[in-house]
Amino acid sequence: MFQPYTEEHDQFRRTVRQFAEKEIAPFADEWEHAKDFPSALFKKAGELGILGAHYPEAVGGSGGDYWFSVAKAQELPRGRSAGVTMALLVQTDMATPVIADLGTPEQVAEFLRPALAGDKIAAIGVSEPGAGSDVAGITTWARRDGDDYVLNGQKTFITNGTRADFVTMLVKTNPDGGAHGCSFFLVPTKLPGFRVSRKLEKVGNHASDTAELFLEDVRVPARYRLGEEGMGFMYLMQNFQAERLIGGVSGLAGARYAVEYSRRYGEDRKVFGKPLIKRELWQHRFVDMYTKIEMAEAFMEKCVSHYNHDKYVTQGNVSMETVKLISMLKIVAGELVSSVMDTCLQFHGGWGYVEEYPIARAWRDSRLLRIGGGSSETMSYYLAKLMGL
């Protein structure tokens, strides 16, 4: 039987589980209503080694493989706050991997090490009002001016955007270059001209802040450019794989917890004289959910194995085969998680539609997985091209 986890992985899993159950779950309702959570939580996670477990020791991590990140993403949903989980995963698997891959020693020291320690909060700045899944359509641009780049434009749907100390941002450096005219920059949020215009009100993930950002003649030192000029889109396509993979891992874990929670509810809830879970129709639906989650998790482990081999064993770029598998997982996980959450809410009846039951929140929060990091439709379009269709 395939078994990627060692005792070290299991110890780390227990650490994350305790963190989620003690530092997040007791406050989940409060943070949900406040639509915010304390930024100090990043520091607590950093002190426990949660943020950098799968990063090399040379950049401030613990030197683990990608299975450590999987364990983290599977345990954080125990905190019952998808918003907090998303904020932490943006820090660890979306805004910082590209720094580990491309960063100079100075960039690592100034941005990555503090992020993995929880001393700085990171955001990833790609989406714009007119360019979401169509990344090549971004219009935020940068022009070279001596030792600086001057940035102008707008970013939106930016998780951690109101609290971030820096944004790993994709902008156009060659307006006529299309997808190949983009470059990555590390943009400190305290630079003159950088402005958070507003905090967006979302359907779900309420505890997580999502911002709209404006840049007006923001002077970014050239030393903050990541990698080569004009290669940003290629770097992003590599970085996207970690974002999509960890989203699928976390989403499937949340679906499994929702089924287990609903099962316990059904054992206590009496309907027409016997527990709801003893009704044959619902037994069949639970069997269906358990089966599909098992199948999806098996496929997820295959995707992680490919990704872990590409990034940690061969120390190379993510192969096109791995990209194909992760894109498939993004679709499968998004559709399955939405279906499971909807079934679990229906199982709760009227109580599933009131806020005091966690399943209502889980149902709302899960909807993002089919959109964020590339919509299901975009994944299908991309897969069709990969398959030569």
The pLDDT value given to residue 130: 86
Contact predicate 302/332, CB 8 Å: no
316: left (phi over 0), alpha (psi -120 to 50) or beta: beta
- Residue 230 is classified by DSSP as T
The pLDDT value given to residue 346: 97
Tokens 């976390």 locate to 250
Diameter of the chain measured on Cα atoms: 78
Measured at the alpha carbon of residue 282, what is the angle toward residues 364 and 339, in degrees to the nearest 5?
30
The pLDDT value given to residue 231: 93
Contact predicate 275/268, CB 8 Å: yes
Bridge partners (DSSP) of residue 381 are none
The pLDDT value given to residue 1: 61
Q: How many CB atoms lie within 10 A of CB 190?
A: 7
The pLDDT value given to residue 34: 95
Nearest to 224 by CA among 165, 283, 183: 183
Phi, psi of 143 (to 5 degrees): -120, 145
Residues in Cβ contact with 78 at an 8 Å cutoff, skipping those fewer than 6 apart: 17, 20, 21, 24, 25, 257
Q: What span, in angstroms and rounded, lies between the C-alpha atoms of 171 and 153?
A: 9
End-to-end alpha carbon distance in the chain: 35
**10-residue stretch averages of pLDDT, the chain, 389 residues long:** 87 98 97 96 98 96 96 96 97 96 97 98 94 81 96 96 97 86 96 96 95 97 96 91 95 97 95 93 98 97 96 92 96 97 97 92 95 93 94
Mean model confidence pLDDT for the chain: 95
> DSSP letters of 265-287?
HHHH-EETTEEGGGSHHHHHHHH
Q: How many CB atoms lie within 10 A of CB 21?
A: 14
Contact predicate 246/280, CB 8 Å: no
The pLDDT value given to residue 384: 96
| Distances in whole angstroms, Cα of residue 178 to Cα of each of 68, 135, 373 | 36, 10, 20
Q: What span, in angstroms and rounded, lies between the C-alpha atoms of 340 and 335?
A: 9
Nearest to 24 by CA among 53, 60, 48, 55: 48
* Active-site residue flag, 30: no
Contact predicate 181/229, CB 8 Å: no
Contact predicate 245/199, CB 8 Å: no
Q: Which domains does the chain have, with CATH numbers?
A: 7-121 (1.10.540.10), 123-226 (2.40.110.10), 232-386 (1.20.140.10)
The pLDDT value given to residue 176: 82
Distance of CA 218 to the CA centre of its chain: 27
Q: What span, in angstroms and rounded, lies between the C-alpha atoms of 238 and 154?
A: 23
Q: Which one is catalytic: 21, 243, 280, 321?
A: 243
Q: What span, in angstroms and rounded, lies between the C-alpha atoms of 36 and 193?
A: 25
The pLDDT value given to residue 133: 72
